[in-house]
């Protein structure tokens, strides 16, 4: 089954996320469990968690179809120890919030070296932070998102994703999320059938599809290898609609959350319907 849906809003209540997703015909969704641009947050109450779980169950969303995202402030690879500890504590809190909601994944951006250390040292700090977080919270899988490589951000190459996995002492508890806009901006072409398959073969060889726990489906305003993170609606950017239709038709990308972070929310229902239509019969 194709699990496709948008990054939803929790404005007003956590259960708004599954309600919004359902209203758009989605079979998956993403959400922040708190304000993504603030360090502090109120704890999730038992009643809030109950209402969220109840809404998901009534609308047919299982944890396999939901991919929560952490705060944009978190940098697990910050070489400043005090700032890294602040990020780590916030990440642990995010994992605990996910667990309270009955979910089992937390999507995150790996971090940045902020021009104060080398890339490998930063990647080692990310892995070290993840190991500590996983020691403190059971049952939640950190899912590393590919980046566009803007500024000092790490994780823009499949090799760097693999390094995070290899440096971790618990890599069997880690996953990966491919963002199509990000990898395109990082230099991985998706436009033609041949280019798409070459990119996916590289991912399989270097990282492995066994680690793939979700995707963000976004077209790109930027050009190939631009290292600019600029999302666009499907088919309206530099990647083109055919790449997303290929994903919908490919069994490798079924049964993991495929999340739209495209720029025009008025098109989400149309984008979801298009991809669902193109996935029909694949799993038959």
Query: For residue range 13-25, what is the model confidence (pLDDT) as tens digits?
Result: 999 999 999 999 9
Asked if 134 contacts 173 with a C-beta cutoff of 8 angstroms, the reply is yes
232 is a catalytic site residue: no
113 is a catalytic site residue: no
Q: What is the pLDDT of residues 129-170, one digit of tens each?
A: 999 999 999 999 999 999 999 999 999 999 999 999 999 999
**pTM metric for this prediction:** 0.97
69 is a catalytic site residue: yes
Catalogue the E-assigned strands of 45-151.
66-69, 105-108, 141-145
Identify the pLDDT of residue 283: 75
Identify the pLDDT of residue 284: 57
Question: Which residue among the candidates 204, 250, 261, 270 is catalytic per the annotation?
Answer: 261
131 is a catalytic site residue: no
Identify the pLDDT of residue 132: 98
- Rounded CA-CA distance 191/240 in Å is 7
Catalogue the E-assigned strands of 87-132.
105-108
229 is a catalytic site residue: yes
Residue 260 CB contacts under 8 Å (≥ 6 apart), including other chains: 4, 5, 6, 7, 216, 217, 218, 234, 268, 271, 272
Identify the pLDDT of residue 87: 97
Identify the pLDDT of residue 35: 85
Question: Which residue among the candidates 70, 93, 94, 145 is catalytic per the annotation?
Answer: 145
- Residue ranges of the chain with pLDDT lower than 50? none
Beta bridge partners of 43: none
Q: Which domains does the chain have, with CATH numbers?
A: 3-279 (3.20.20.150)
Identify the pLDDT of residue 245: 98
């Amino acid at each position: 089954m194709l699990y496709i849906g948008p990054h939803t809003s929790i404005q007003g209540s956590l259960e708004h996320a599954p309600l919004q997703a359902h209203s758009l015909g989605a079979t998956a969704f993403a959400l922040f469990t708190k304000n993504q641009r603030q360090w502090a947050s109120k704890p999730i109450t038992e009643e809030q968690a109950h209402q969220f779980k109840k809404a998901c169950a009534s609308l047919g969303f299982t944890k396999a179809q939901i991919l929560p995202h952490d705060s944009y402030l978190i940098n697990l690879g910050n070489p400043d120890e005090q700032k890294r500890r602040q990020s780590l504590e916030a990440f642990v809190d995010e994992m605990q919030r996910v667990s309270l909601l009955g979910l089992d994944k937390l999507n995150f951006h790996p971090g940045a070296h902020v021009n104060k250390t080398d890339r490998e040292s930063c990647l080692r700090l990310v892995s070290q932070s993840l190991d500590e977080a996983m020691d403190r919270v059971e049952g939640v899988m950190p899912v590393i998102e590919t980046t566009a490589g803007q500024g000092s951000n790490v994780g823009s190459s499949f090799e760097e994703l693999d390094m995070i996995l290899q440096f971790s002492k618990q890599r069997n508890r880690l996953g990966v999320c491919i963002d199509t806009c990000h990898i395109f901006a990082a230099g991985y072409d998706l436009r033609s059938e041949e280019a798409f398959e070459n990119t996916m073969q590289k991912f399989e060889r270097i990282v492995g599809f066994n680690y793939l726990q979700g995707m963000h489906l976004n077209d790109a305003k930027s050009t190939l290898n631009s290292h600019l993170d600029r999302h666009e609606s499907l088919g309206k950017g530099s990647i083109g609609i055919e790449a997303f239709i290929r994903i919908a038709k490919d069994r490798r990308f079924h049964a993991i959350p495929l999340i739209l972070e495209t720029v025009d929310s008025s098109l989400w229902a149309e984008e979801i319907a298009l991809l669902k239509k193109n996935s029909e019969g694949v799993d038959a």
